[in-house]
Amino acid sequence: MPRRFSNALVLLYILANMVAPLRGDRFSFTGECVAVHDGDTIRVMHKGREVKIRLEGIDCPELGQDFGQTAKMFTSRLLFAKPVTVRVITTDRYGRLVARVSIDGLDGSVELVKAGLAWHLNKLSRDRELSRAEQAARNSKRGLWSHHSPIPPWLWRNRPK
Protein backbone atom coordinates (compact mmCIF):
# COMPACT_ATOMS: atom_id res chain seq x y z
CA MET A 1 0.00 0.00 0.00
CA PRO A 2 1.50 3.40 -0.90
CA ARG A 3 2.71 5.35 2.14
CA ARG A 4 0.53 8.38 1.37
CA PHE A 5 -2.58 6.20 1.21
CA SER A 6 -1.57 4.44 4.43
CA ASN A 7 -1.09 7.75 6.30
CA ALA A 8 -4.45 8.97 4.99
CA LEU A 9 -6.12 5.83 6.37
CA VAL A 10 -4.47 6.35 9.76
CA LEU A 11 -5.63 9.94 9.89
CA LEU A 12 -9.14 8.99 8.81
CA TYR A 13 -9.27 6.33 11.53
CA ILE A 14 -8.12 8.84 14.14
CA LEU A 15 -10.65 11.40 13.08
CA ALA A 16 -13.48 8.88 13.07
CA ASN A 17 -12.67 7.04 16.29
CA MET A 18 -10.22 8.65 18.60
CA VAL A 19 -10.16 12.42 18.77
CA ALA A 20 -12.48 15.31 19.37
CA PRO A 21 -12.27 18.58 17.43
CA LEU A 22 -10.19 21.30 19.04
CA ARG A 23 -10.01 24.07 16.44
CA GLY A 24 -9.57 24.18 12.70
CA ASP A 25 -7.72 21.11 11.49
CA ARG A 26 -6.28 20.20 14.90
CA PHE A 27 -7.69 17.69 17.36
CA SER A 28 -7.10 16.70 20.93
CA PHE A 29 -7.81 13.88 23.32
CA THR A 30 -6.81 12.82 26.81
CA GLY A 31 -5.47 9.49 27.93
CA GLU A 32 -2.92 7.83 30.15
CA CYS A 33 0.71 7.62 29.02
CA VAL A 34 1.33 3.86 29.16
CA ALA A 35 4.81 3.63 27.62
CA VAL A 36 7.87 5.75 26.90
CA HIS A 37 9.95 4.42 24.01
CA ASP A 38 12.56 7.19 24.09
CA GLY A 39 12.69 10.89 24.89
CA ASP A 40 10.31 11.94 22.14
CA THR A 41 8.14 8.88 21.50
CA ILE A 42 5.41 7.66 23.84
CA ARG A 43 2.24 5.56 23.83
CA VAL A 44 -1.03 6.87 25.18
CA MET A 45 -4.07 4.73 26.01
CA HIS A 46 -7.24 6.15 24.53
CA LYS A 47 -10.58 4.39 24.26
CA GLY A 48 -8.99 1.02 24.95
CA ARG A 49 -6.21 1.37 22.37
CA GLU A 50 -2.55 2.33 22.58
CA VAL A 51 -1.72 5.24 20.32
CA LYS A 52 1.91 5.89 19.37
CA ILE A 53 2.80 9.57 19.68
CA ARG A 54 5.86 11.46 18.43
CA LEU A 55 6.36 14.72 20.34
CA GLU A 56 6.07 17.61 17.90
CA GLY A 57 8.77 20.19 17.21
CA ILE A 58 11.70 18.38 18.83
CA ASP A 59 14.23 15.61 18.39
CA CYS A 60 15.81 13.96 21.44
CA PRO A 61 19.13 12.12 21.36
CA GLU A 62 18.78 8.47 20.38
CA LEU A 63 19.02 5.90 23.18
CA GLY A 64 22.60 5.01 22.19
CA GLN A 65 23.72 8.63 22.22
CA ASP A 66 24.90 10.77 25.11
CA PHE A 67 21.82 12.02 26.97
CA GLY A 68 19.50 9.57 25.15
CA GLN A 69 18.74 7.56 28.30
CA THR A 70 18.52 10.78 30.32
CA ALA A 71 15.92 12.16 27.89
CA LYS A 72 13.92 8.93 28.15
CA MET A 73 14.00 9.05 31.96
CA PHE A 74 12.98 12.73 31.93
CA THR A 75 10.00 11.96 29.70
CA SER A 76 9.10 9.00 31.92
CA ARG A 77 9.14 11.13 35.08
CA LEU A 78 7.10 13.83 33.37
CA LEU A 79 4.47 11.73 31.56
CA PHE A 80 4.48 8.01 32.34
CA ALA A 81 1.40 6.59 34.11
CA LYS A 82 -0.23 10.04 34.15
CA PRO A 83 -3.20 11.53 32.34
CA VAL A 84 -2.01 13.66 29.43
CA THR A 85 -3.62 15.89 26.85
CA VAL A 86 -2.61 15.16 23.27
CA ARG A 87 -3.03 17.90 20.65
CA VAL A 88 -2.60 16.20 17.28
CA ILE A 89 -0.78 18.16 14.58
CA THR A 90 -0.29 15.49 11.88
CA THR A 91 0.92 11.94 11.28
CA ASP A 92 4.48 11.07 10.30
CA ARG A 93 5.82 8.66 7.70
CA TYR A 94 5.75 5.85 10.28
CA GLY A 95 2.04 6.34 11.00
CA ARG A 96 2.62 7.88 14.43
CA LEU A 97 0.61 10.86 15.57
CA VAL A 98 2.79 13.95 15.77
CA ALA A 99 1.43 15.94 18.67
CA ARG A 100 2.05 18.34 21.50
CA VAL A 101 1.56 16.46 24.75
CA SER A 102 0.87 18.31 27.97
CA ILE A 103 0.33 17.51 31.61
CA ASP A 104 -0.84 19.97 34.25
CA GLY A 105 -0.20 22.86 31.85
CA LEU A 106 3.35 21.76 31.03
CA ASP A 107 4.18 21.06 27.38
CA GLY A 108 6.41 17.96 27.11
CA SER A 109 8.27 19.27 24.06
CA VAL A 110 9.08 22.58 25.75
CA GLU A 111 10.15 20.90 29.01
CA LEU A 112 12.59 18.58 27.19
CA VAL A 113 14.14 21.48 25.28
CA LYS A 114 14.37 23.62 28.46
CA ALA A 115 16.22 20.77 30.19
CA GLY A 116 18.72 20.58 27.33
CA LEU A 117 17.51 17.12 26.33
CA ALA A 118 16.17 17.87 22.85
CA TRP A 119 16.83 19.97 19.80
CA HIS A 120 14.13 22.27 18.50
CA LEU A 121 13.40 21.13 14.93
CA ASN A 122 13.30 24.65 13.59
CA LYS A 123 13.07 23.48 9.97
CA LEU A 124 9.75 21.81 10.79
CA SER A 125 8.53 24.00 13.65
CA ARG A 126 8.46 27.77 13.91
CA ASP A 127 7.45 27.60 17.57
CA ARG A 128 9.05 30.60 19.26
CA GLU A 129 8.73 29.10 22.73
CA LEU A 130 10.78 26.08 21.65
CA SER A 131 13.32 28.37 19.98
CA ARG A 132 13.71 30.50 23.13
CA ALA A 133 13.90 27.39 25.33
CA GLU A 134 16.71 25.93 23.21
CA GLN A 135 18.66 29.19 23.25
CA ALA A 136 18.34 29.41 27.04
CA ALA A 137 19.50 25.79 27.44
CA ARG A 138 22.46 26.42 25.11
CA ASN A 139 23.44 29.60 26.98
CA SER A 140 23.23 27.79 30.33
CA LYS A 141 25.04 24.70 28.96
CA ARG A 142 22.25 22.45 30.25
CA GLY A 143 22.06 18.79 29.31
CA LEU A 144 23.45 17.98 25.88
CA TRP A 145 24.61 21.60 25.54
CA SER A 146 27.22 20.89 28.24
CA HIS A 147 29.17 19.15 25.46
CA HIS A 148 31.22 21.30 23.12
CA SER A 149 29.62 19.97 19.91
CA PRO A 150 26.70 17.62 20.55
CA ILE A 151 25.79 15.47 17.56
CA PRO A 152 22.17 15.95 16.50
CA PRO A 153 20.22 12.69 16.31
CA TRP A 154 19.43 13.15 12.60
CA LEU A 155 23.19 13.07 11.91
CA TRP A 156 23.89 10.32 14.46
CA ARG A 157 21.25 8.06 12.83
CA ASN A 158 22.94 8.43 9.44
CA ARG A 159 26.53 7.93 10.63
CA PRO A 160 28.61 5.17 9.03
CA LYS A 161 28.39 2.06 11.17
Which one is catalytic: 43, 54, 87, 100? Answer: 54
The phi-psi region of residue 78 (left if phi > 0; otherwise alpha if psi is between -120 and 50; otherwise beta) is alpha
Catalytic annotation on 77?
no
Among candidate residues 43, 56, 62, 111, the one labeled active-site is: 62
Q: How many CA atoms lie within 13 A of 1 on its CB side?
A: 9
State yes or no: is 26 an active-site residue. no
Q: Choose the catalytic residue: 96, 100, 111, 134.
A: 96
User: In this structure, how many other beta carbons lie within 10 angstroms of the beta carbon of residue 128?
Assistant: 9
CA gap 80, 51 in Å, rounded: 14
Q: Is 96 a catalytic residue?
A: yes
Q: Tell me the catalytic residues.
A: 54, 62, 96
